[in-house]
Amino acid sequence: MPDWRGTLLSAAVALAACSPSPEGEAPPDAQAASDLVEEAAGPAGATSTDEPGTALPPADAASRYIGRWAESAEQCRSEAWTLTRNRLTAPDDTACDFTRIEKSPGGYAIDAVCAIDGAEEDDSIILRFAESAKAMLVEGATTLPEAGLIYCGEAR
């Protein structure tokens, strides 16, 4: 979703400055216009579970990867990956328990023990955030498919 708040704020300030004020009324100031924009837009960095893929969790979140993720908005309903602080569960019943999580440029480097079809395997998972695509990329894992995932919302 484009950030239209700045454009709306600029337009509101320009209209307020150009419009004649009725007698006795002060024109709306920039703060009032800004308040209207914020009210319409909701909290900055907010994510919407109504529209999967329109936003990522905030970049300054302690563990940005936490939540439900899927390859498409349709898959958010029934085939989402679930990531918690220390675990990943993929739709194919692969589950990975994180043994080490390290922030890395653009995301996280994670050592994990993954179980697939009853067998456990040590794995290294790289999670990277593609800001412009509003997606998280899963790379480097041998037990998981490489995938581009959109944010579906908070983990249930």
| DSSP for the chain, written as a single string | ----HHHHHHHHHHHHHHSPPPTT-PPP-HHHHHHHHHHHH-STT---SSSTTS----TT-TTTT-EEEESSHHHHHHS-EEE-SSEEE-TTS-EEEEEEEEEETTEEEEEEEEEETTEEEEEEEEEEEETTTTEEEEES-SSS--EEEEEEES--
Q: Mind listing the pLDDT tens digit for each residue in 15-63?
A: 334 344 445 444 444 333 333 333 333 333 434 445 888 899 998 888 9
pTM above threshold 0.75: no
Taking 70 as the threshold, does the pLDDT of residue 9 lie above it?
Answer: no
Q: Percent of the chain beyond pLDDT 90?
A: 52
Q: 147-153 and 119-130 as β-strands: parallel, antiparallel, unpaired?
A: unpaired
Asked if pLDDT for residue 96 goes beyond 50, the answer is yes
- For residue 95, is pLDDT > 60? yes
pLDDT of residue 50: 55
Average pLDDT, whole number, for the chain? 76
What pLDDT, on the 0 to 100 scale, is given for residue 64? 95
- Phi first, then psi: what are they for 101, rounded to 5°? -125, 125
pLDDT at 98 over 80: yes
Mean pLDDT of 81-99: 94
